Amino acid sequence: MRRCVFSLACIFLILKVESSSLSSARTPCEDGWFGSSCQYQCHCAGSGTCDKHDGSCSSGCQQGWFGPACQYASMAFMAYDNQGREVRWLTDKNDASCNNGWRSTLKVTLRTPTIISWVRIVVKDSAKDIRIYLNIKQKGVEGETKCDSKDSAAMVDTRTYDIVCNSHDPVKEFSLFGTGVWSLCSLYISGGRNVALKQKTKQSSTYNTWNSSNAVDGKLDIPDNEISQAATCTHTKKDNYAWWRLTFSQPVDVFKFHIYNRRNPSRKDCCEQRLEGFHLTALGSQRVLYDHIDEETEPANMYKVRPSTRIKDVHAVKIKKGSSYLTLCEVKVFGELSCGDGQYGLGCEQCLAGRYGRRLAETCSETCGRDENLCEQTDGAC
């Protein structure tokens, strides 16, 4: 298990040094992309483009996205107090509307059961106590997964904390309790990020220019026009055994798949039915970890494949068809990198162990070890 060595503050420092020394050498990313190899897609609100280095958005995140560089899918939910009344200040995405009552337990219900990885809470300016527990009901049983802000939170700023809370199964409901609920203003629930983008791909053969990387190019706008489609969808030749494969640069935990089909409303004879009955597998280093055969009776524009448990340590994803053409317009894989203990974030670079200040201070040296390049407990500096 890799240890968590850097705190958030260290990472910012490294990013700063890196950007000043390398920015002149590296070609900048295309608009709408960022990261060291332009592997992340911007998700800013409006037509805002993000910072090409760290992905930050001056306009805030696009609807449905949140978290570091707006890369995480924000899951929709409802919240209720212990008398069953709806709690709107928690769901209104307004960090200025907060709890003004004395509700000590809140029930949170996700609109769609989802495997989750972490939640973000925003508390009042004056909050001194952010102690919050999450109690996830899994398979109808409460208490199997309990997450505590003390052991698994990272401070983002003085009002914002991320609490890592990995569920094994799709979560329908959890409760929030602890004294911190009194200062609570907002809650955001992460359903993972698209870990497939710009990863390595291959297919059994390539028809014309419809190459395999077009399924991980982040382009969801699929025009009803073959010339344009050839630049954003994949297409094999008519193989005896047509397949497309995605290989992750690092193992990932997978929560769900979204597979975008080709659509040609102007052609009756073709082409969306070609994907019917596709076979998807998730592969570990040694064996098949997950197997799904499509059973939809009508071709769908987008297929949602939701495994019943988290698929851990996935190395590759393969989609195959028997004797046929195989065309995919986009494959999104929602999940997280399989980070070591005490780590989370886009590249596992965020360190729970590096927490500091206020009530989150205690464990900096404990979990990070005693190397000299660790963060200071007082202010997180290295």
Ligand X SMILES: *[C@@H]1O[C@H](CO)[C@@H](O)[C@H](O)[C@H]1NC(C)=O
CA distance 99 to 187: 12
Binding segment toward ligand X, per CB under 6 A, in 49-57, 208-216, 291-299, 321-329: 208-216
For the bound state, the minimum distance from the C-beta of residue 30 to ligand X, rounded and expressed in Å, comes to: 10
149 binds ligand X (CB under 6 A): no
205 scored as a contact of ligand X (CB under 6 A):
no
Q: How far is the CB of 213 from ligand X (least distance, A)?
A: 5
SS3 202: strand
Contacts of 80 (CB under 8 A, 6+ apart): 86, 87, 106, 107, 109
**Min separation Cβ 210 and ligand X, Å:** 8
Cα–Cα distance, 256 to 254 (Å, whole number): 6
> In the chain, how long is the greatest CA-to-CA distance?
67
Listed in sequence order, the residues at least 6 apart from 347 whose beta carbon sits closer than 8 Å to its beta carbon are 337
Strand order in the sheet with 77-80: 77-80, 105-114, 171-177, 133-138, 141-148
> Between 6 and 243, whose beta carbon lies closer to ligand X?
243
What is the distance of C-alpha 172 from the center of its chain? 18
Stretch that binds ligand X, among 149-157, 171-179, 207-215, 327-335 (CB under 6 A): 207-215
Q: Compare residues 117 and 327 and give the one whose CB is closer to ligand X.
A: 327
- Asked if residue 211 binds ligand X (CB under 6 A), the reply is yes
Residue 18 Cβ, how far from ligand X at the closest point, in Å? 27
- Binding mask of the shown chain, residues 230 to 269, with x at each position contacting ligand X by CB under 6 A: -x--------------------------------------
The residue (of 49 and 213) whose beta carbon lies closer to ligand X is 213
Over the window 168 to 187, marking each residue x when it contacts ligand X by CB under 6 A and - when it does not, the resulting string is --------------------
Applying CB under 6 A, which of residues 41, 214, 236, 377 lies at the interface with ligand X?
214
| Under rule CB under 6 A, residue 213 binds ligand X | yes
3-state secondary structure of 364: helix
**Would you count residue 203 as binding ligand X (CB under 6 A)?**
no
Cβ 117 vs Cβ 164: under 8 Å: yes
Q: Total binding residues for ligand X by CB under 6 A?
A: 5
Tell me the backbone φ, ψ of residue 124, rounded to 5 degrees: -65, 155
Residue 332 · residue 319 · CB < 8 Å:
no
- Report 216-235 residues binding ligand X (CB under 6 A): 231
Q: Please, what is the minimum distance in Å from the beta carbon of residue 31 to ligand X?
A: 15
Are the beta carbons of 60 and 50 closer than 8 angstroms?
A: no
Which of 58, 228 has the CB closer to ligand X? 228
Q: How far is the CB of 280 from ligand X (least distance, A)?
A: 22
CA separation for the pair 369, 347 (Å, rounded): 20
Residue 231: CB minimum distance to ligand X, A: 4
- Beta carbons of 57 and 45 less than 8 angstroms apart: yes
Instruction: Give first-to-last CA distance, the chain, whole Å.
Output: 22
What is the binding site for ligand X (CB under 6 A)?
209, 211, 213-214, 231
